[in-house]
Every structure is written in structure tokens, then in C-alpha cells.
Amino acid sequence: MEELNRQMARNEEAQIDGYVDRRAWQMQKTGTGLRYWIYEQGSGAAAKEGLLAKVDYCVSLLNGDTIYTSDEDGPKEFLIGQDNVESGLHEGILFLHVGDKARFILPSHLAHGLSGDQDKIPPRHTVIYDIELLSLR
């Protein structure tokens, strides 16, 4: 079972690498496996743990399916490092300043893991966030 999980993680890693390479995105990778690319720089305050972040977002899967958007659901607000959102979102937002636009690729272990979100995100799926940090307070 342990080896199967390692193999599945390696396969997911290869899928993410191929996805990024095909798009020629200039992404950075953290030690946890989060990939991020700040493609438009803002000039506002830096995100910090404990602050309330307000973001516009588009969430999609590697197959191109758009799952959630702020256009449909409105901007999302969450306390950085505290609220119940994906751990990869908490990690990625800390790289941003107000006004930044970025892409985050969250491997399944940083997104919804083995269970999915019980709605639109299937189990063991990589999640892509296209995100803009609107404000902090």
C-alpha cells in the first residue's frame, strides 16, 4: 500500500510537470510540492498569517474543467493559516501582496486529498487556482 501511494504521488508529479511544461509557465516549486507563479505584481501589503484575505479566483482541474469561480460564487474570504481552505491555498497566499495575480498548482495532498471536496472536485485530483489578492485586513 505504501509503495502504491508513492507511485501515485510520482505519477501526479509527472502530470503536473507536463502540464506546466506544455504551457511554458515560469513556476516556482516549494518543498511541499506547491507550484506558484506570480504573473502580475501588485503594490499592496504583503499577506501574513492571521490576516483576512479576500480573493478573486478560478479553480480548475488539469483536464481543463473549471470547477469554481468568483464570477459565479463571489470573492472568497478566509483567515490566512486558520480557516478551513486547502492547505496549499494557505501556503501560496503567503507569497502574495495585495494586487498580485498568480497561479497555484496544488497537488492532491495540498488540495482535497483522498476524499475530494464531496462536490465538484474528485478524490486525488490536482487543483489549479488562478487567483488575485484583492485585500487584506
Q: In this predicted model, what pLDDT tens digit does every residue of 5-23 receive, in sequence order? A: 899 999 999 999 999 999 9
Which residues, other chains included, contact 105 with Cβ-Cβ below 8 Å and sequence gap of 6+?
16, 19, 20, 27, 34, 35, 36, 126, 127, 128, 129
Compute the chain's Rg from CA coordinates: 15
pLDDT tens string 25-72: 999 999 999 999 999 999 999 999 999 999 999 999 999 999 999 999
Entry pTM: 0.95
**Residue 17: predicted pLDDT:** 97
Which distant-in-sequence residues (6+ apart) come within 8 Å of 32 by Cβ? Answer: 88, 91, 110
Beta strands in the chain (DSSP E): 28-29, 35-40, 52-61, 66-69, 76-79, 101-106, 127-136
What percent of the chain has pLDDT above 70?
100
**Please, which residues bridge with residue 131 across strands?**
57, 102
Q: Compute the distance between CA of residue 57 and CA of residue 60 in angstroms, rounded to an integer.
A: 10
108-127 pLDDT tens trace: 999 999 889 989 999 999 99
89, HSE (Cβ side, Cα atoms, 13 Å): 27
pLDDT digits (tens, 9 = 90+) for 88-113: 999 999 999 999 999 999 999 999 99
User: What average pLDDT does the structure give for the chain?
Assistant: 96
Domains of the chain with bracketed CATH: 2-136 (3.10.50.40)
Question: What was the pLDDT predicted at 25?
Answer: 96
